[in-house]
Amino acid sequence: MEQIFFALVTLITFWVAYKQFMRIRRNILLGKDEDFSDNEGQRWKNMLLVAFGQKKMFKRMIPAVLHFFIYAAFVITQIELIEIFIDGFFGTHRFFLPYLGWMYTAIISFIEILTVLALIGTIAFLARRNLLKIPRFHMDEMTMWPKLDANLILFGELALITGIICMNGADVVLQDIDPKHYHDTGFFAITGWLGPLLFGGLHDGFLVIIERFGWWMHILTVFLFINYLPSSKHLHILFAFPNTYYSRLEPNGQMVNMPEVMNEVKSMMGLIEEDPNAPMDADLPEFGANDVMTLSWKNIMEAYTCTECGRCSSVCPANITGKKLSPRKIMMDVRDRAEEIGTNLDSGHFKWVKEELRNEAHELTPENYDDGKSLFDYISREELHACTTCNACVEACPVLISPLDVILRMRRYEILTESAGPSDWVPMFNAIENTGAVWQIPDDRDKWAVDAMEAENK
């Protein structure tokens, strides 16, 4: 019965998780296509150093070491998790023990040592968030769910650690009582002495309950974690790897060119021929981005990858000087907007279809979607205007996210598509467009050169 129950719970867990991750994939692909197929070698290097090697975390040593304790425990514990799955499906107990011998004792001992270090890291992070009141964890955007989310995963870590201690500790005691079913594993580094200390002298039936409780507590916490990830900032555990692989390889200060603008400039300079058959009433292209659909899919994936650690906002000069801008909030807003659109698409309700297409549409799709809102309903123009484009947020991010790219795309939309912007910016743009100079002068910028040439010809 236990095997059947385990198989059923496992099947349900992974089916529900699959549906959630497919929804997130759909939300990410709402963005515009962008090619990141160049320089595979550098991309693999970024992923191995930054995502797997935690390279950028160590710019702040104390949280980096604490995070590494939890990260290392998470990675190495997967070995024991594989054994738990095998035991769960086939009704075995410590499946790898007969095949690995003393190596099994060494591996489990190493996992237990990492587990104790993870416990230290977890307690320290709970204290940093809830007792020490570190400013970047208590900004305006870090209330309600974001604050609860950060604590929930830490309590989940405590549940995983408790499960391992109960499972191994009771097992060690049972080896002396019932060696036929609980084979000698050797002396584990932590539970070898902690198990008898905690559970020694208990009745064997009670010990079996404790061992099974620890086993089930560990695996059920893992199952809950798998289905919790899609709704949590801890999705970065998975998305950090593709996000670092697909990160931009250009220098941080280099802005992404807009083909529409480049083609217009080339046409004005006679570098490309205009299509004589192009309709005169063709719609003008939209520049920049005003919503999820006009961002790149990479921008949306970055939003789902965001760890909400706040390093970007803590180094942002605009935020430090009291401006409204918080780069972390920008990424959180993009994710929230993508989630809102995704939820509406899942509903299939025709009220979200563009009004002019409702008579022709057969179903709700991303192409005919319109809820009358945009990213500007989440991100204020004041936030966008406060950015100095210094790239401090990009440099600080431990998983190579660029809040600046979203800001620039939205500012381009505001200025180039809406012909709007701050009152002290618009005259400058108009002057550049009309005279080629930032100051509103009555003569063309190159008039001095023309006058000089005319004087020379005389």
CATH number, domain at 312?
1.10.1060
Number of domains in the chain: 2
| H-helix segments, 131-235 | 145-177, 191-199, 204-228
pLDDT at 443: 65
Has residue 448 been placed in a domain? no
Q: How far is CA 320 from CA 311, 313, 403, 420, 425, in A?
A: 12, 8, 16, 27, 23
For residue 287, name the pLDDT band (cuts at 50, 70, 90). Answer: confident
Residues 220, 291, single domain; the answer is no
Domain end point (choices 245, 264, 299): 245
Residues 60, 190, single domain; the answer is yes
For residue 252, name the pLDDT band (cuts at 50, 70, 90). Answer: confident
Residues 418, 309, single domain; the answer is yes
Has residue 262 been placed in a domain? no
Domain with 36, as residue range(s), is 2-245
Is 285 a residue whose pLDDT tops 80?
Answer: no
Distance of alpha carbon 383 from alpha carbon 375, whole angstroms = 12
Among 12-26, 246-260, 287-301, the range scoring the smallest mean pLDDT is 246-260
Has residue 271 been placed in a domain? no
pTM here?
A: 0.87
- The 3-state DSSP class for residue 399 equals coil
Residues 315, 392, single domain; the answer is yes
Residues 148, 71, single domain; the answer is yes
* Alpha carbons within 13 A on the beta-carbon side of 392: 17
For residue 279, name the pLDDT band (cuts at 50, 70, 90). Answer: low
Distance of alpha carbon 198 from alpha carbon 212, whole angstroms = 16
For residue 256, name the pLDDT band (cuts at 50, 70, 90). Answer: confident
Single-letter amino acid code for the residue at 456: E
79 neighbors 86 (Cβ within 8 angstroms): no
Domain end point (choices 191, 217, 245): 245
For the chain, the straight-line distance linking the first and the last C-alpha, in angstroms and rounded, comes to 104
pLDDT cut 90: percent of the chain above it: 61
Chain centroid to Cα 228, Å, comes to: 14
Other CB atoms within 10 A of residue 7 CB: 12
Has residue 257 been placed in a domain? no
236 neighbors 175 (Cβ within 8 angstroms): no
Has residue 34 been placed in a domain? yes
Residues 323, 373, single domain; the answer is yes
292 neighbors 302 (Cβ within 8 angstroms): no
Angular region, 229: left φ>0, alpha ψ -120 to 50, beta rest: alpha
Specify burial of residue 372 (Cβ count, 10 A radius: 0-12, 13-18, 19+).
Answer: exposed
Has residue 405 been placed in a domain? yes
Residues 215, 107, single domain; the answer is yes
Has residue 299 been placed in a domain? yes
pLDDT per residue as tens digits for the range 301-352:
999 999 999 999 999 999 999 999 999 999 999 999 999 999 999 998 888 8
Residues 235, 310, single domain; the answer is no
pLDDT at 273: 66
Residues 92, 222, single domain; the answer is yes
Has residue 260 been placed in a domain? no
pLDDT per residue as tens digits for the range 150-193:
899 999 999 999 999 999 999 999 998 888 888 899 999 999 99
